[in-house]
Chain A
Amino acid sequence: MKIAVASGKGGTGKTLVSTNLFNVIQKSGFAVDLIDCDAEEPNALQFIHADLISQKSVTQNIPVIDKEACTFCGKCEAYCHYNAIVVLPKLRHIQVVEDLCHDCGACEYACPAGAISWKSKTTGTIRTYAVNNGSSLIEGRIEIGVYSSVPLIKEVMKSSHHRQLAIVDAPPGTSCPFIATVSAADFMVLVTEPTPFGLNDLKLSVEILQQLDKSFGIIVNRAGLGDHRVYDFIAKNKLLLLDEIPFDPRIAKSYSEGKLITDNMPNYHKHFLQLFSRIKKHLQYDRNSYT
């Protein structure tokens, strides 16, 4: 069971929610994983005390074209859906644009001359840290200069056992890395804020989740700030409002010191436990409604 915490807009509080949710579940004695899929800037580790237990590299294959064997027929280029191969028969020029390659293998299948072999390229690292009693933090970190974090995110999402409860810190935005995370999650928590920016990006996220047929709930962070339009949107579309986290300067202070609000403020510990029971209740209801 994977619960992914996402938001269209960066800086709305995804990491705040995912780390604190993980913390209260883990401290109440349940084994849970925290998966940090924000691979371009993973930072959950800054809030969680954990020991590194394993790490592995994630690689992708990149085609290598043997220019002696190549007949410059252009079939590989025609088969490549991602414009990753440039062929100019007259100039006897062929090249692979590595950043665009999705490692699908179509070019090798297309090549009648057997001119394509493969090399391996490291795209990122997955590190697993032990936290407590069977709970762990799994972090995906992309290699600098790698164009897409999608293949890495897919691997990171597979690193947690499917039976284990996992809280996922999703990447910001609503593009491919977000979709790669969402596709492998069972339930989504969207964090927003009551500002025009928060609303704009919430709408984008909701649209995608509805298209993907994912069930989700919404948390309004920094409640008390801005205006009521986020609430109007939630009410009008009959969306599930899971929680509100108040606009509280103590939260910002605690966050900036790398401390969890559920550790140093008892009222927030209780708050997040209640949030977890609401999510559980909803998942139970959801599961029943499908069977």
Chain B
Amino acid sequence: MKIAITATGNSLNSKVDSRFGRCSYFAVYDMDENQTKFIKNPNKEAAEGAGPAAVQLIAKQGVTQIISGEFGGKAKSILEDLNIQMIMLNGPEKSIQEVLDLMAINK
């Protein structure tokens, strides 16, 4: 099972990026392998449609859950169609590592 987290940089110490479609990186955590890889978001500066393009990118990775601060309307409806669960992260800024630790506790 794979989970994506929107990230401001490409390390585990990077903060969670609060925007989905226009985040800097996607941290893709593979639960079975216990490994995280970072994918640069090529659509960060897209004029239009950054959300749908981001959905396509992470869905191709086989992600079933996505964690971010917020999701735009267009992205939301496609994620719903694809049965990818959206998890919205509120509260104080967290690093990718902190989110992964939280998930390990809640498992």
Contacts and interface: CB of A to CB of B under 8 A. Distances in A.
Interface of A: 77, 82-84, 86-88, 90-91, 93, 95, 97, 99-100
A100 B49 contact: yes
Q: Is the interface of A mostly helix, strand, loop or mixed?
A: mixed
B99 interface: no
Interface stretch (B6-14, B28-36, B50-58, B86-94): B50-58
A77 B56 contact: yes
A84 B55 CA distance: 12
Interface of B: 43, 46-50, 52-53, 55-56, 59-60, 62, 74, 78, 81-82
Contacts, number: 41
B48 A93 contact: no
B105 to A, nearest CB: 31
Contact of A86 (B48, B52, B62): B52
B55 A86 contact: yes
A82 B48 contact: yes
A81 to B, nearest CB: 9
A84 B47 CA distance: 12
B26 to A, nearest CB: 16
Given A88-B82, A95-B81, A83 B46 contact: yes
Q: Which 3 A-B residue pairs are closest in the complex by CB-CB distance?
A: A83-B49, A83-B53, A100-B49
B14 to A, nearest CB: 25
A67 to B, nearest CB: 13
Contacts of A86: 52-53, 55-56, 78
Contact of A88 (B48, B50, B59): B59
A82 B74 CA distance: 13
A106 to B, nearest CB: 14
